[in-house]
Amino acid sequence: MLAFLPGLQAQSVFSSSVRPVLEKHCFGCHNEKLMTAGLNLETFRDDVQSKASPDVWKRVLDRVASGTMPPPSLPRLTEKEQRALAGWIETSFGESGPAATAQPSVPVTIRRLNRLEYNNTVRDLLGVTANPASEFPLDDSGYGFDNIADVLSLSPMLMEKYLAAARKLSHLAVYGEPLPAQPATIGHYLGKHSQDARRTLAAQNITPFSLRGSIYTTHVFPWDGEYEFRYRVVNFRYILTKPGEKRPTEEELRKLFPTVDAVLSIDGIPVNHSPIVGNLAMEFDRGDLVARVPVKAGEHQIRASFPHLADIDNPLNNVNQDLRRKLWFDYLDIVGPFNPSKDRPASYKRIFVCGHTKGGHLPSCRRTILTNLARRAYRRPPTSREVQNLMAIAQRSVQRGDPFEESIRLAVQAVLVSPNFIFRIERNSDYALASRLSYFLWSSMPDEDLFRAAADKRLRNSRVLDAQVRRMLADPKASMLAENFAAQWLQLRALGRSTPDPDRFPKVDEELLDFMRQETILFVQSVINEDRSVHDFLNGRFTYLNGPLARHYGIPGVTGEKFQRVELDGAQRGGLLTHASILTVSSYPTRTSPVLRGKWVLENLLGAPPPPPPPDVPELKDSGIGASVSLRERLEQHRANPACAACHQQMDPIGFGLESFDAVGAWRTHDGKVPIDSSGTLPDGRSFQGPRELITALGANPDVFTRNLCERMLTYALGRGIERADAAEVERIRKRLAAGNYRFSSLALAIVNSELFQKTIGTGARP
């Protein structure tokens, strides 16, 4: 890039070198009349006006550098023109210009725990088996994430929920869940009766629809003990007969249909097998299938299924002519506990740290308990006044005649509604850094290792900090980076909001959508756990599949319900862009959308989101697509509108490169009767044919993707949006990632060691 002199010479540089480039290449669209993308560059006539709009020039630089502007239908900037424009922008607003001396952005100093963080924190703080935040209102999102400080408000309704949760959690933590007088039903889950039922049934105990007849859910078990799982199989494997024709007897049905296995699994481990013979639809009065299984307290994944159905070529083969499934689970009841453990819950031991037995607590232990509780709940050493306030609450309880445990329970309740617990209030300390680190990597509070490092004031030592980051990435709790960060970055949470049309895609049920999401989460976790290059997100030649998803993809050799790692040749699939989850999220329920897919890539992978469409642009007409006209032809007609052309010329070619995948991510060669044309030309002039060449082209300039990934993860880590003043630090993070061979750990370490992550009020930030 050219290095222009600042000050007086900047005026002449803009007039002599920059404005001529704008007049030649930009003013035709970005003028006062057209205002394409809401941008009028004609207003910038001198250096003074230009310097007043740094965000505009950052957008210009991003578009020119990524090759998206000018659009491919217009002449490209020459190398000299691009150097002149980029050099002036970087000198004026980049590392060598005013932005370099601008005050760094103010760090986030107070942030409410979001729902996931709240659940994880009370689990790690108290050791309780509960998900109280499921009752809280949904968190708002900002910049694509739900941990952004500015949108995490505290409404009166949420405050009421906090008060109710504090009462319940304090009881659970001190006394445990009260045992029923006798075993009782603690979970009742219904299987959906039909594909259409998923549109209308919204009750929490209605499980996802499965063409293969499975029923699965997540359940929180309050006690260690034995539990009975009572479930009923609906067996409609009979042969449909004509009116008046004799129906087969049960004995005949037993001969016609083989015995199959109904399997109950907990956390993926089979715990009961039940042979299903003949036709049980004639024998409902036989009652439930029952399995009694020991289960530890906590959250567990429960699944009842027919494993052999995971390997049928077409899940519709499990559907009769009357549209009823041949085999499926009607319901699942969980009854218990039987023979519950007599041991105190883990939460009791976590709170009553003196080790005294019930009724044997010494009064001096109260301060020890409450000081330790406040230290962990507030994520820093409590002040003497804070401890004294908790002691006063407990003492008033004792004066009323309450037992020792109840006095502690009331103090626990008070802690859980304290702003010091509900909010992350960051001060200038190693403890603040420990919290920022744990909520970034774990979405939860620090553990004792982090607390010790903070107490010893060693956490800002680079070697200690790097060791902590590597330790935390190896911990199972780091799965939150995939479940929380990646799921939001990749928009996986939208996967179930607009489900594929069951008439257009009858083989795709809610279970398969869950499998799609699981593939992507396992893929991201593998990149993290194996410390792979972040470029694998774009072009990784492996994935995770089970039998149903492999058949959906047309990949042979994968069987069963369990996911397994599969190496890919890259011919059809490789990297996130070929995952069915991503392809489904970026499609309409009835058809693909090159526009949505191109927009998804620009936003989430390249960090160059197109502007919103003008309000008066007509919608694309769906009629005839796939029959008399191709989607490509219809979009070409749509782009004839000059107001649409500039943005669509960025989005559509990328989407065309993914047209070999249908709206649910299956490979195809035709859209209806029309052959697929997956060729395209990127805004910088490079041509490609099909998804493999598209992915190669997108990865040709690694800086674009990695810079966007750095910004996305930094936004998530800081809990705020990235601003212009952060640009130099983002670039330093990107360079450190590159120096570390793009390994995921290099990205996490670069963020954690950055000035933006390290700084707190009192260490260089503005007051």
| pLDDT digits 0-9 by tens, 686-733 | 899 999 999 999 998 899 999 999 999 999 999 999 988 899 999 999
Partner residues linked to 272 by β-bridges: 264
Average pLDDT over residues 15-42: 78
Residue 209 has which token pair? Answer: 């629809």
pLDDT of residue 211: 96
Q: What is the DSSP letter of 552?
A: H
- Check: CB of residue 186 under 8 Å from CB of residue 335: yes
| Percent with pLDDT over 90 in the chain | 63
HEC states along 724-766? HHHHHHHHHHHHHHHHCCCEHHHHHHHHHCCHHHHCCCCCCCC
If DSSP codes are grouped into helix, strand and coil, which group holds residue 187? strand
Q: Using an 8 Å Cβ cutoff, are 306 and 213 in contact?
A: yes
Find all residues with CB under 8 Å of 132, minimum gap 6, and list them.
118, 119, 122, 165, 168, 169
Tell me how far CA of residue 707 lies from CA of 324, 567, 704, 731, in angstroms.
Answer: 51, 28, 5, 7
At 215, phi and psi to the nearest 5?
A: -135, 130
Tokens read off for 330: 């009607």
Average pLDDT for 660-686? 89
pTM for the complete prediction? 0.86
Average pLDDT along the chain: 86
Which residue, 126, 131, 135, 125, is CA-closest to 160? 135
Domain boundaries, the chain: 8-101, 110-175, 184-338, 488-530+536-698
Enter the tokens of residue 37. Answer: 């993308």
Query: Widest CA span of the chain, in angstroms?
Result: 100
pLDDT at residue 201 in the model: 47
> If pLDDT is split at 50, 70 and 90, which confidence band does 213 have?
very high
Structure token digits, residue 720: 């705020």
SS3 9: helix
The pLDDT value recorded for residue 390 is 98
Q: 291: which strand partners?
A: 229
Task: Indicate whether 152 pLDDT > 50.
Answer: yes
Nearest by Cα to 74 from 748, 668, 492, 646: 646
Higher pLDDT, 378 or 287: 378
For 578-613, what is each residue's pLDDT tens digit? 999 999 999 999 999 999 999 999 999 999 888 776
Which of 452-461, 651-660, 748-757 has the weakest average pLDDT? 651-660
Structure tokens given for 499:
């489900």
E-state strands within 116-190: 184-190
Give the model confidence (pLDDT) of 486-521 as tens digits: 999 999 999 978 789 999 999 999 999 999 999 999
Q: What percentage of residues in the chain have a pLDDT greater than 70?
A: 84
Alpha-carbon distances of 598 from 259, 592, 593, 595, rounded to whole Å: 49, 11, 8, 5
Band (pLDDT 50/70/90 cuts) for residue 9 is very low
Rounded Cα distance between 28 and 35, Å, is 10
533: which strand partners?
A: 743
Rg (CA), the chain: 30
Q: Which fold has domain 184-338?
A: Jelly Rolls (2.60.120)
Cα 136 to Cα 527: distance, rounded to the nearest angstrom: 33
Tokens 């708002």, residue located:
140
Cα separation, 643 vs 395, whole angstroms:
71
Bridge partners of 149? none
Given a contact cutoff of 8 angstroms between Cβ atoms, the answer to whether 76 and 685 are in contact is yes
Contacts of residue 116, defined as CB under 8 A and 6 or more positions apart, other chains included, come to 133, 146, 443, 480, 484
pLDDT digits (tens, 9 = 90+) for 524-563: 999 999 999 999 999 999 999 999 999 999 999 999 999 9
Is the pLDDT assigned to residue 648 strictly greater than 80?
A: no
Per-residue pLDDT at 36 exceeds 90 = no
Looking at residues 468-496, what average pLDDT do you find? 96
Alpha-carbon gap, residue 615 to 689, rounded angstroms: 33
Residue 414 near residue 172, CB atoms below 8 Å: no
Q: How confident is the model at residue 46 (pLDDT cuts 50, 70, 90)?
A: confident
Q: Residue 359, SS3?
A: coil
Which pLDDT tens digit goes with each residue over 110-142?
899 999 999 999 999 999 989 999 999 999 999
What is the Cα–Cα distance from 332 to 266, expressed in whole angstroms?
Answer: 13
Identify the residue whose tokens are 């782009």: 639
For 710, phi then psi, to 5°, come to -60, -45
H or E segment to which residue 389 belongs:
helix 384-399
Per the DSSP assignment, residues forming a β-bridge with 184 are 336
User: Would you state the pLDDT for residue 95?
Assistant: 46
- Taking alpha carbons only, the member of 42, 16, 46, 17 closest to residue 29 is 42
Q: Among the listed ranges 344-348, 524-528, 569-573, which one has the minimum average pLDDT value?
A: 344-348
Q: For residue 707, what is the DSSP state?
A: H
Please check the confidence at residue 638 and state whether its pLDDT lies above 70: no
* Residue 553 exposure: Cα atoms within 13 Å on the Cβ side: 27
Residue 756 has pLDDT above 90, yes or no: yes
Q: What's the CA gap between 390 and 411, in Å, rounded?
A: 6
Torsion of CA 49, 52, 58, 63, to 10 degrees: -30
CB burial of 300-311 (b: ≥16 within 10 Å; e: otherwise) equals bebbbbbbebbb
DSSP state of 535: T
